[in-house]
Amino acid sequence: MSEKKRRAIVTGGSRGIGRAIVKELANKICSGVLLSDIVFVDDDAEKCAADLEKEINGSDVNIYAFQADATSFTDAQATVDAAVEKMGGVDILINNAGITKDNLLLRMSAEDFDRVINVNLKSVFNYTKAVLRPMMKQRYGRIVNIASVVGLIGNPGQANYVASKAGVIGFTKTMAKELGSRNITVNAIAPGFIETEMTKKLNDRQREGMLSGIPLQRMGQPEDIAKVVTFLCSPEADYITGQVIAVDGGMTM
């Protein structure tokens, strides 16, 4: 691999899976990825910056916190422009911003449907479109979108979330076809049940029900996702594009 160091943007990077991704990239656990700079974006990024910097203490990677609304293309473009100015370019984009507002469709409000679609799906459009010019100009880019296994199999009570994640999967495949000739790969990861703030709200009965459908008999950790993200950004994955990798303990096989 060339010793050229890469520059990354991670949306939804202040907590959960996003935070694990920032730490994994910063610590270069996958030795093929050499990072010089990481921008993490969230609606509370500035509050989390100091804590995150402490957690990656010892890394020689520069970490920058940008506060932005992922649903706003204007914010996304401004963030990418500022990141390019600060870092000199963008090589890696991780689209991780996401929320849930669960309910049966009969009880789901139009506002909750729109909000989830905007945060989970439109944000992927926003940041992908915003990084295209710098990536196409340098003829290099690695884009990884965080989808979900429910985007593959559906899930009652999550029509908005499932629709958003299924949309991310379709968007990923289309972008892989559009951008492959410019040496830009686009892949998606579909996490299963991961230990995050969202899943901590489950009661014991719900948790037992989930575990019964997972061959590995445990929930995943944010680091399980982060390691696959880092692999997809490494030279070992240079010939992988348009793929959806389920990281789910065997749940969807």
Active site residues: 161
Place of tokens 């990072």: 35
Under DSSP, the state recorded for 140 is -
* Residue at token pair 């880019």: 141
Cβ atoms within 10 Å of 99's Cβ, excluding its own: 16
What does the alpha-carbon distance between residue 13 and residue 225 come to, in Å, rounded to a whole number?
A: 13
Where does 113-233 show beta strands of DSSP type E?
A: 141-146, 184-191
Residues 6+ apart with CB under 8 A from 102: 157, 158, 161
Residue 67 identity: Q
**One-letter identity of residue 164:** S
What are the residue ranges of helices labelled H in the chain?
Answer: 16-27, 45-55, 73-87, 110-117, 123-138, 150-153, 159-179, 204-211, 222-232
- Radius of gyration from C-alpha coordinates of the chain: 17
CA distance 67 to 222: 22
